Amino acid sequence: MPKGKLEIARLTLQRFGRAIGHLAHSKYAPKALRCTLLIGLCMFGITGLNVFNSYVGRDFMSAIEHQNLGDFWFNAMLYAGVFAGSTAVAVYYRFAEERLGLVWREQLTRRLADLYLSDRTYYRMASATGIANPDQRIADDVRAFTTTTLSFTLLILNGTLAAVSFSGVLWSISPRLFGVAVGYAVCGSLLTIWLGKPLIRLNYRQLDMEASFRSALIHVRENSESIAVAHREMRFKVRLSQRVDELTTNFLRIIKVNRNLGFFTTGYNYLIQIIPALIVAPMFIKGEIKDFGVVTQSAMAFSTLLGALSLIVTQFQSISAFSAVTARLNGLGEAMEKARSTQASAIVLDEDRERVEFDGVTLFSSDGKRRLVGELNLVIPRGQCWLVTGLEDEPKVALFRALAGIWESGSGRIVRPCLDDILFLSERPYLPPGILRDILVRMDNAAKTPDPAIMEVLAKLDLVDVVRRLGGLQAHEDWDDLLAIGEQHLFSVARIVLASPTFVVLDRPGSSLPKEQIKLILDLLLEQGMGVLVLAKNGEADLRFDACLEIGSDSRWVITHNPVAKKVTESVDWSY
């Protein structure tokens, strides 16, 4: 929950104004403007027809009272014409509202998704902001925000037009009845805010709890095999049960507040039906009003005016949920801006296509309490193959992420190719769902990379039979679930070879691949003149490299050139 209490009148309007501003300055503005103009025309049409209908209804009832068959049929025909016109205008109004809502949702979703994926904002957000469930906010909250905001805005505009139009009608019938309507709406709105204020906080929490519950279910689905092998079902049952307990407890509080609010709002709405009759009927009985149709007209005008003035009473439950959604989206936007402005790494990154260089690079653990690598200085030219060894994985992981520009704890200067010319293969490779050919070839190279060239690279990695088993290059699957971890590594290497970068960094390939396959991969990469940096895990140290960087547990390091089967456990004359 944001600091302080959510203030509907100020914060919600400010956030709404910012969202409108983003829409107005986007490429979607012309579409939105056309829909808005159509909505405005329909809105005036509906209000005008409603006012006209009140007079038709008055004359219709008066004709019945006076037993005037001619006026009766004339006003009945007017009634039919008004109903036909109102139907057409209402349908176009609804169409324009839904179309504008879709345009706004598309604009806001694309904007947030672009912000989320640019400059690795998605990676920095958790550590920089602590925002929970950004995916749910972008998907569900954007939909709720655009549809609900548009609905409320149009309700307010419609209410304003109705209030202005029917105020004159009601004042002409009885100034006292007009005063009662205004006073009744003001008192009802104040009491509704007082009774329903806790709903804003509770709805905000409910959205987070629902998202956390769904996230826990997704985690079970995505890790089903690991959970089944480890027999961890009971732990997840307890975890899911806790999530259900939290969201049901909070929702029960919402239900109780809604109950108390419902007692008031339901009685409030029932009284609307009788109040105009209590004031106007005695005037008709005393002869102050001549036509009985005025009584029915006053009831319609009073009900319409009070409905326009009582939006807070009638819509407060929805308003509270809307305020929570608005706050969550605003928090997401602020978190993205904060993450984008946060320095991804304290280490200076410069670009050079032909080398990787560490200049006085010191790396600390993620919490900043332990030094992992101290004052590292080395240069790796393009075309050489280096090995990084060490008893601990943490310094190697920090080195890998620092090269990628996503390690925050450290200092010094790293020179490396741009991200198009240096590719990283993590210990756990990532193959997104999609068409196999699209997974293997970069988008900018797709048109100029023929299928035979792809199959030639796959043949060198002994993947041709695997591709045939999968259904060819046009097969569309969730590769993370379908392929074994070793196969994922090999397909990732195929993608690297087809991309032809100048440098490649392999993070502990020995975790999933045998020594023979690692040697095959290194030979294939070096054949294309790439520079290769391998972080050792199992078996890599037995291969031949141009040089070996060995990192000790005390952050000191040593470089050995042309090492042959060097073991990490040997005593070392440390250079630092």
Structural domains of the chain in order of their starting residue, each with its CATH number: 8-341 (1.20.1560.10), 348-561 (3.40.50.300)
Q: Which among 555, 294, 274 is positioned nearest to 411, based on CA atoms? A: 555
pLDDT score, position 533: 92
Task: Give the model confidence (pLDDT) of 387-411 as tens digits.
Answer: 998 888 888 888 988 888 888 788 8
pLDDT score, position 566: 42
> Model confidence at 129, in pLDDT bands (50, 70, 90)?
low
Segment 13-34 shows an average pLDDT of 82
**Chain centroid to CA 538: how far?**
40
- Please say whether the beta carbons of 547 and 563 come within 8 A: yes
pLDDT score, position 431: 82
pLDDT score, position 434: 82
Segment 300-323 shows an average pLDDT of 65
Which residues have CB under 8 Å from 547's CB, separation 6+?
380, 384, 386, 387, 559, 560, 561, 562, 563
Segment 556-566 shows an average pLDDT of 71
**Chain centroid to CA 372: how far?**
36
> Model confidence at 541, in pLDDT bands (50, 70, 90)?
low
Complete edge-to-edge strand list for the sheet that includes strand 531-535: 422-425, 503-507, 531-535, 385-390, 547-551, 557-561
pLDDT score, position 312: 63
Structural tokens at position 555: 């952050």
| Residue 153: burial class (beta carbons within 10 Å; 0-12, 13-18, 19+) | middle
Residue 418 pLDDT exceeds 70: yes
Residue 8 pLDDT exceeds 50: no
User: Rounded to whole angstroms, what are the CA distances from 70 to 34, 54, 60, 79, 460?
Assistant: 44, 19, 11, 14, 95
Segment 170-180 shows an average pLDDT of 74
Residue 461 pLDDT exceeds 50: yes
Rounded-to-integer distance, Cα 489 and Cα 534, Å: 14
Residue with tokens 């470089």: 559
Which range among 29-38, 219-228, 483-492 shows the weakest confidence by mean pLDDT? 219-228
Higher pLDDT, 225 or 236: 236
Higher pLDDT, 490 or 314: 490
Rounded-to-integer distance, Cα 392 and Cα 390, Å: 5
Which stretches of 422-565 are assigned E, i.e. beta strand? 422-425, 434-435, 476-477, 503-507, 531-535, 547-551, 557-561
pLDDT score, position 532: 92
Residue 167 pLDDT exceeds 50: yes
Rounded-to-integer distance, Cα 298 and Cα 1, Å: 46
Average pLDDT over all residues of the chain: 78
Above pLDDT 90, what percent of the chain? 6
Structural tokens at position 270: 């029932």
Residue 354 pLDDT exceeds 80: yes
> Model confidence at 324, in pLDDT bands (50, 70, 90)?
low
Residue 557 pLDDT exceeds 50: yes
pLDDT score, position 415: 92
pLDDT score, position 555: 83
Could you tell me how many residues make up the chain? Answer: 576
Which range among 203-212, 461-470, 489-498 shows the weakest confidence by mean pLDDT? 203-212
pLDDT score, position 504: 92
pLDDT score, position 502: 92
pLDDT score, position 1: 41
pLDDT score, position 455: 92
Residue 328 pLDDT exceeds 90: no
Residue 301 pLDDT exceeds 90: no
Above pLDDT 70, what percent of the chain? 79
Other C-beta atoms closer than 10 Å to the C-beta of 296 total: 19
Segment 370-399 shows an average pLDDT of 89
> Model confidence at 4, in pLDDT bands (50, 70, 90)?
very low
> Model confidence at 44, in pLDDT bands (50, 70, 90)?
confident
Which range among 297-301, 449-453, 464-468 shows the weakest confidence by mean pLDDT? 297-301
Which range among 9-13, 96-100, 121-125, 413-417 shows the weakest confidence by mean pLDDT? 9-13
Segment 561-573 shows an average pLDDT of 46
pLDDT score, position 570: 37
Residue 223 pLDDT exceeds 70: yes
Residue 207 pLDDT exceeds 90: no
525: left (phi over 0), alpha (psi -120 to 50) or beta: alpha
Instruction: Give the DSSP H/E element, type plus range, for residue 359.
Output: strand 355-364
Rounded-to-integer distance, Cα 416 and Cα 348, Å: 11
> Model confidence at 503, in pLDDT bands (50, 70, 90)?
very high
pLDDT score, position 127: 55
- Please say whether the beta carbons of 420 and 566 come within 8 A: no
Higher pLDDT, 562 or 503: 503
